[in-house]
Structure 1
Amino acid sequence: MREKLFLLAIFILLPLLRDIKAQNVDPSAVNVSTLSTSEIQQLISEMNKRGMSESEAIVLARARGMSESQISLLKQRIAEVKMGGGQANEVYSSDDAMYLNEDVLSAKAELDFTKVDSRIFGFSFFNNENLSFEPSVNSAVSPSYMLGSGDEISIDVWGASQQSYLLMVDRNGNINIPNIGPISIGGLTLENASQKIRSKLVLIYRDLASQTPRTFASINLGQIRSIKVNVIGEVFVPGTYTISGASTVFNALYLAGGPNPSGSFREIKLIRDGKEKAILDVYDYLINGNSNVNINLREGDVILVSPYLNRVVLEGELKRAGIFEAKQDETVGDMVLYAGGFTDDAYTHRLQLYRKTGRDRLFKDVLNKDLGNTKISNGDSIFVGKIIERLQNRVTINGAVYRPGDYELTQGLNLSELIKRADGLREDASMERGIITRVKDDFSLQSIAFNVSDVVNGNSDVAMKREDVIRISSIHDLREYRTVQIYGEIQRPDKYDFKEGMTIEDLIFEAGGFLESASDAYIEVARKLTVDEGSEVTDNMVHVFKMKVPRNLELENTEASFKLQPFDFVFIRELPGYEESAVVKITGEVAYAGEYALSSKTERISDLLERAGGITKDAYTEGAMVTRRVKISEKQKRLRLELLERDSTLEFTDLDFEVVGVSLTKALQYPGSRDDVFLKDGDEIYIPREIQTVKISGEVLNPISSNFIKGKPLKSYIWEGGGFGLSAKRGKVYVVYPNGSASGTKRFFFFRNYPKVTAGSEIVVPAKPYKDPLPASAWIAMASAMASVAVVISNINF
């Protein structure tokens, strides 16, 4: 019987439960597309009440023969209804409407809280998605649950006799047990109804009452009926709500949004059968966790939310600052309790109370001892301040003691005792003077000097006061930090700490020793003038000492070693004849190309070519190029930046080499001449093969490379490139020769003398600088000025 009713609820749906005599249900014949949205809603409600998930219901439907297409459509319809979709303007009978009103539970009202003061304590309690107070469909019902129309009673008999009953309490409060008849249980508690039903079952199962029964019965509550309650008064959405019969006052208030900004959390009345059943205080639940406040509801109950009693604002150093409601005769202490108490930084000695008198405002100091005696009035504001950052019993000692820091100021504490608490003085402590910085009564600072040695030896002492700061300096703190510096041909030239008894050999050793280029016979030490010498005005700046140091830094004659003093400067000179190895490179048409080390400072190009075996027969000496490495110092870089800031039109190349404009032909013909230059480290000589072309570039109509013809003038090459362009600057044509040198056009009266062209050279025709054309306004202004001049001239009387 139970299984058939369950299948009816799932596949014939709740509206058809009216005909509970239906015995045969064919799930495969159910057409989901013909079901209305209300019927789908009933299905979802029934599944929730029975604790069945959607997936479990689908599995059962498939096992009973429902087709996959209908199952897929059912899933879609359920999802649409849960998302708020479905068909609109559906029509159902009055009987259906009655059934829906009884079984479709009310949803939480949609509220707009943008204008609600969220500081009101308890507001979020009834508007929290995670806290609805809705009873679980699977949880056990209390024995005190009051039965009524619509409740479902499940009776299971087992043992010698076996039978199951699933009975619904009708409108008259009766259940009808076959072979027994109607039993009136409406208005009884579940416990009392169970006893009454059991007494009736004995009539047909007599073994239930024997001393050694073999038949047993279990009476439980199955489906719980829905009830209607009215929520009125100062709530967000007053009205009639359909809720589960096991619901409580808080569940109904949750659906209605709880008390509105004018509603009370301390005086919520439950009216039953026209009489006041109870007055609920939500604070008792929120503060003390008293669940007895949350009373179960019955059909027709009325929940009346009164206007708030007294409202108080609590701000400042409280754990739950906000707006609280106070009952009559409650005190400031009660409000602090509702606010969770004071924070760690709260100033609890005195609270500030601002009160509205009806005419103006009144300020009142509430001392801590009066919190429980000061009563609250409507509109009060209480502010709890913050403690000040002030220590009443602290002293501090810093400097040359073993444990500097803060210490407790005890009764009669002296400076000598404080030093002992700090584990005494360090060995480097300055014994002549210490300083106590004291805060006077007017918060100005006072400096008190003391002799550290006298205090430690007991010859004198100083009484400590609150916030005293004692400073005992180290001897190193009272003088300039002492260093020595070493420069020149040394591994690690730098500044080093000075040590007593430090010699020049010690410093050289600490700096990593000599470089190979260092001269051990010419070392200078520059020493500052003494204090006495500096007190007189002279031309002297430093004392200079010259000496020789063993290159291996041997320890012989250590007593005669030169001892350094603080702030000495040591200079290690370079050997007079020392030169770094210089390497040059020669490539191209030579017998033995590659890198060569310069044998002397006076080695020339001709000398290097002789060492390289001379040039080959294909060498083109006129096109030979000599480049030299260029090193740009940081000073030059900074100077370039300064020049660019002054003149943005300047340009600097980032190349790390430059071309040396010499003629290799003349250098080989006339060794030692001006073109046969001395070579330097990093120089490169490139000797190409003879080049048979001339390149024409720049402002010509067709830049090309043309065959070189000896004696052919420069203009002929330009005409081969199509001639000059419109913006060509003819008087500035120049030729760049293969060796990197260049020659420009010379002018004699109205004649231009173009430079000679050689094989492999490049003819460059520069462009005229671009000039912005004058705007129309400038031409108009000029015409106006000329007209004015003409008028003036015409008026002159000759």
Structure 2
Amino acid sequence: MDSGLSSVPTIRQGLPGSGDERWNSATQRANGQQPGAYAAPAKPLPPNDFQKFVLESTGQALPLFGAGFFDAAPDNFNPQASAPVSGDYRLGPGDELQIRGWGSVDIDVRAVVDRNGQIHIPRVGAVPLAGVRSVEAESTIRNAVGRYYKDFQLSVTMGQLRGITVYVVGQARKPGAYNLSGASTLVSALFASGGPSANGSMRNVQVKRGGRTVTELDLYDFLAKGDKSADVRLQDGDTITIPPARGYIALTGKVATPAVYELGGDKDTLGSTLALAGGLPVVADPKRAYLERVDPSKKPARSVESFALDAAGLNRPLRNGDLLTVLSLSPEFGNAVTLRGNVDQPVRAPWREGMKIRDLIPSKSYLMSRASVQRQNSVLLTTEEKQRVEDGYQLTRRAQDASSPRAFPGDASGAYGNGAPGQPLDRPGPRLRGEGGVREVRDNADTLAERIGNLVDEINLEYAVVERVDSQNVTVQLVPFNLGRALEDANSPDNLALQPGDIVTVFSVTDVRVPQAKRQVFVRIEGEVRRPGIYQMNPGDGLSNLLEKAGGLTPDAYLFGSAFYREEVRQTQQKNLEQLVRRLEAQTQTQLSSSAASVSAVSGDASGTARLRLEAEARAQQQALERLRNINPTGRIMLGLQADNATVDALPDVRLANQDRLVIPSRPDFVYVLGSVNTEASMLWRRGGTVQDYLSQAGLTSGADKDELFIIRADGSVASGNNSSSWFNRSITGAAVQPGDLIVLPEKTDHESAWSVFTRNAKDITQIIYQFSLGAAAIKTLRE
């Protein structure tokens, strides 16, 4: 043969469409589907009678073990239509081969084995391939071509395999005849047919060929162990028989796979079935198992027995209808004691003979909580920076929950500004400036003072408790002890001997409220004192002791205008204010409902006027409630000083509490006049000047309402004509004015303006706050 390129013989032959496409389309048409249509998964099996019996007995809907494997099979599954062909596959009529050659001959042939077991290659002739293994097909064809050509290369690959018809009968989910690929096996055919039905056997599937049984497959070996040794390749005309199941048992409780299991034969034991289920989890109690057995020959037909899952228990044979329940282990510790509460690390420690409190808590340093250490480590962080860190944590958690890469510090989600990592939109943080990177900390007096004295959670050394559980009597005994004495003296009776299961709880002074005398007191004083700052006070100290520590008053101090704040009072004021708002809301709703009913009874033009008046009244009441909601209680306590006798000795005997704050201003030189006056201004204070003197100086308008005149004193109290008798011996206009007082003269209410509404509400609100403050101070004083 001429080996020149121009004289290379060309052998080409093909079939329309690729093998996979033709096979898939033909299979879908044969099953009533349009080519390329999606095959929906098969419907799950309905429960059989034994599953219903288990549901009625235990309340658990247990699945049939192995049935879920076939639930994923589509209704028109085509097994191995395009799967690789194993080397031991034997060719037969209908198999397709793709033959390509190059060199001295150019071959591109797609050949199909005919009924005689041969393929035909142009210029080569017939090549017998029936019964030839797929791995030997290339060498067989190479020898046939080599009889005519030399110096060539050859490649043979399998195309579309031949189709076979198998029959699935018996207790199958979808019995019938199936057109499958020639490389299909028993397992793939079962998958195509949907597997056994609810009553079909998974442990004795048979393949019959030519009147004899070729194999018997136990699907449990395949599903539980992956053993496919009994799986065989099917041939055309094979029959797959699925007999009824021999019986069922159920496994419930603490087993790896609770389900209903089919019995494989008389040799099935509890151990072999548990092995199929994956064994027992570590939390199962092998000492307690209950077996419910059904015996129709007895009355009653059901019985129960208990035994341990030891060697004898695992060798017990099972019967049809058995229901085994495995109990879980008790989570009780047998040799542990627990330490919790305000400690460095809550821990469950091993108990040993003779163990005492000091063995569990060797020293007081073990009582330093992690929160206290964190506060010490973050002393350089401002409140804004701490909030930024918390926002970052929350944002990270939201990002993890939403799986969103944008919701993270520095993203474009809007939570952080300018795209800078860690920079919130509205919170300017510390800056680095200059080459040295100087840190600019934006602290103020409030934020800095709040962080002093609160670094450590103060421990209640007077009281800790041991919870002791008596498992025999199922009771709890509380054994309190003095933690301080236990840690100081190993021989102290408070150094209690511990028992297994004891729980030791350590409290802080805020967990269980302790007497004020046993708590640390940090008080802030500022203003006109010689050494403003934050001081640690002794239990029982009062305001005079605080002033003494601060070095006393300065010459400019205005003690009458002092402001004394307490956090507990602020919380009480806030609570009272919320109760007041709720009560007024209820009263407003009742009043408006009554007014609306009255308006509905009015007819004619008066009805429209009444409705407008009702709407105006509702708006006014809503505005008043909104103003009340916007009030921020300060926790100020009136000291009750007289303006002409405001000395240190006149200070009330109020014991200081933690986080108290005393502000002593300098004496102002002005008096303020607001309201219906011709000149709203700050006027110089004159000793002996009265309210009338300042009103005359400011000038009254024609709409001034002198009956509603009131004064907001520098100490926060309010004086008005309604309570002038309790403050002065003469009318409010003749009252002496003190430095810093605010004189407010409202307008008459019959032609209310915005300013008169403000002044009237300001008077009401200040009186409410004043009453709250007096009430809170009185309650506090009585309590102490």
Matched with 2:287 is 349
Greater relative contact order, per chain length (Cα 8 Å cut-off, separation 6+)? 2
Deviates more, 1:593-602 or 1:267-276: 593-602
Matched with 2:501 is 467
Supply the distance in 1 between the matched residues of 2:173 and 2:119 (Cα, whole angstroms): 40
Matched with 2:210 is 273
Matched with 1:264 is 201
Work out which of the residue numbers 369, 376, 384 in structure 1 matches 2:310: 369
CA contact 1:147–1:186 (8 Å) conserved in 2: yes
- What letter is aligned with 1:5? G
Alpha-carbon deviations, 1:628-649, whole Å to 9, x = none?
A: 677999xxxxxxxxxxxxxxxx
Indicate how the Cα distance of structure 1 residues 587 and 372 shifts in structure 2: closer, same or farther if over 3 A, else same.
closer
Show the 5 A alignment for 1:37-116. Answer: 45=25, 82=36, 111=43, 113=45
Q: Secondary structure at the match of 2:317?
A: coil
Alpha-carbon deviations, 1:344-378, whole Å to 9, x = none?
A: 42212232211112231232324221343112211
- What letter is aligned with 2:673? V
Tell me the CA shift for residue 583 of structure 1: 2.0
Indicate how the Cα distance of structure 1 residues 3 and 128 shifts in structure 2: closer, same or farther if over 3 A, else same.
farther
Matched with 1:681 is 742
Matched with 1:507 is 546
* Gapped regions of structure 2 (runs ≥ 5): 1-9, 52-61, 368-458, 563-644, 723-729, 757-784
Tell me the CA shift for residue 223 of structure 1: 1.9
Tell me the CA shift for residue 261 of structure 1: 0.6
Matched with 1:204 is 148
- What letter is aligned with 1:259? P
Work out which of the residue numbers 476, 480, 490 in structure 2 matches 1:456: 490
Indicate how the Cα distance of structure 1 residues 319 and 505 shifts in structure 2: closer, same or farther if over 3 A, else same.
same
Matched with 1:394 is 336
Alpha-carbon deviations, 1:140-174, whole Å to 9, x = none?
A: 31121122221112333333333333221223333
| Structure 2 residue 116 is the aligned partner of structure 1 residue 175 | no
| Structure 2 residue 370 is the aligned partner of structure 1 residue 339 | no
Work out which of the residue numbers 673, 676, 681 in structure 2 matches 1:595: 681
Matched with 1:166 is 110
Q: Secondary structure at the match of 2:286?
A: coil
Alpha-carbon deviations, 1:430-473, whole Å to 9, x = none?
A: 99999866555434456779995998249999875432456899
Q: Secondary structure at the match of 1:250?
A: helix
Supply the distance in 2 between the matched residues of 1:472 and 1:675 (Cα, whole angstroms): 61
Alpha-carbon deviations, 1:211-257, whole Å to 9, x = none?
A: xxx23433332221222111111111100111222222222222221
| Structure 2 residue 134 is the aligned partner of structure 1 residue 186 | no
Work out which of the residue numbers 144, 161, 177 in structure 2 matches 1:240: 177
Work out which of the residue numbers 358, 362, 375 in structure 2 matches 1:419: 358
Supply the distance in 1 between the matched residues of 2:276 and 2:188 (Cα, whole angstroms): 23
CA contact 1:126–1:132 (8 Å) conserved in 2: no
Q: Secondary structure at the match of 2:285?
A: coil
Supply the distance in 2 between the matched residues of 1:223 and 1:304 (Cα, whole angstroms): 28
Tell me the CA shift for residue 188 of structure 1: 3.8
Normalising by structure 2, report the TM-score: 0.53
Q: CA RMSD in A?
A: 6.2
Number of residue pairs the alignment of both structures matches: 526
Work out which of the residue numbers 359, 380, 384 in structure 1 matches 2:322: 380
- What letter is aligned with 1:508? L
Supply the distance in 2 between the matched residues of 1:282 and 1:310 (Cα, whole angstroms): 15
Q: Secondary structure at the match of 1:252?
A: helix
Q: Larger Rg: 1 or 2? A: 1
Show the 5 A alignment for 1:389-788. Answer: 389-396=331-338, 405-410=347-352, 413-415=353-355, 419-420=358-359, 422-424=361-363, 438-440=468-470, 441-444=472-475, 456-457=490-491, 465-468=499-502, 481-482=518-519, 498-499=537-538, 507-508=546-547, 518-519=558-559, 581-585=670-674, 593-597=679-683, 611=697, 681-683=742-744
CA contact 1:434–1:452 (8 Å) conserved in 2: no
- What letter is aligned with 2:681? E
Tell me the CA shift for residue 262 of structure 1: 0.5
CA contact 2:28–2:76 (8 Å) conserved in 1: no
Indicate how the Cα distance of structure 1 residues 684 and 323 shifts in structure 2: closer, same or farther if over 3 A, else same.
same
Alpha-carbon deviations, 1:163-192, whole Å to 9, x = none?
A: 333221223333234455544433443245
Supply the distance in 2 between the matched residues of 1:587 and 1:390 (Cα, whole angstroms): 78
* Gapped regions of structure 1 (runs ≥ 5): 15-39, 50-78, 85-106, 208-213, 523-545, 552-562, 616-620, 634-655, 661-671, 688-733, 742-798
Tell me the CA shift for residue 125 of structure 1: 0.6
Supply the distance in 1 between the matched residues of 2:24 and 2:462 (Cα, whole angstroms): 92
Q: Secondary structure at the match of 1:285?
A: helix
CA contact 1:482–1:497 (8 Å) conserved in 2: no
Supply the distance in 1 between the matched residues of 2:116 and 2:318 (Cα, whole angstroms): 52
Matched with 2:618 is none
Alpha-carbon deviations, 1:46-68, whole Å to 9, x = none?
A: 8999xxxxxxxxxxxxxxxxxxx
Tell me the CA shift for residue 292 of structure 1: 3.9
Alpha-carbon deviations, 1:476-526, whole Å to 9, x = none?
A: 999763477999998999999753797866623789986966549x9xxxx
CA contact 1:351–1:365 (8 Å) conserved in 2: yes
CA contact 2:523–2:534 (8 Å) conserved in 1: yes
Work out which of the residue numbers 138, 141, 156 in structure 1 matches 2:100: 156
Indicate how the Cα distance of structure 1 residues 510 and 256 shifts in structure 2: closer, same or farther if over 3 A, else same.
farther
Indicate how the Cα distance of structure 1 residues 308 and 419 shifts in structure 2: closer, same or farther if over 3 A, else same.
same
- What letter is aligned with 1:256? S
Indicate how the Cα distance of structure 1 residues 133 and 366 shifts in structure 2: closer, same or farther if over 3 A, else same.
farther
Matched with 1:701 is none
Indicate how the Cα distance of structure 1 residues 318 and 657 shifts in structure 2: closer, same or farther if over 3 A, else same.
farther
Q: Secondary structure at the match of 1:45?
A: helix
CA contact 2:137–2:156 (8 Å) conserved in 1: no
Supply the distance in 2 between the matched residues of 1:383 and 1:221 (Cα, whole angstroms): 53
Deviates more, 1:315-324 or 1:432-441: 432-441
| Structure 2 residue 287 is the aligned partner of structure 1 residue 307 | no
- What letter is aligned with 2:159? G
| Structure 2 residue 14 is the aligned partner of structure 1 residue 5 | yes
Q: Secondary structure at the match of 2:180?
A: strand
Q: Percent identity, please.
A: 24
| Structure 2 residue 260 is the aligned partner of structure 1 residue 323 | yes
CA contact 1:109–1:256 (8 Å) conserved in 2: no
Indicate how the Cα distance of structure 1 residues 138 and 438 shifts in structure 2: closer, same or farther if over 3 A, else same.
closer
Matched with 1:760 is none
Q: Secondary structure at the match of 2:105?
A: coil
Normalising by structure 1, report the TM-score: 0.52
CA contact 1:265–1:281 (8 Å) conserved in 2: yes
Matched with 2:638 is none
CA contact 1:430–1:472 (8 Å) conserved in 2: yes
| Structure 2 residue 253 is the aligned partner of structure 1 residue 253 | no
Q: Secondary structure at the match of 2:319?
A: coil
Supply the distance in 2 between the matched residues of 1:596 and 1:344 (Cα, whole angstroms): 82
Supply the distance in 1 between the matched residues of 2:204 and 2:535 (Cα, whole angstroms): 83
- What letter is aligned with 1:442? N
Supply the distance in 1 between the matched residues of 2:720 and 2:492 (Cα, whole angstroms): 80
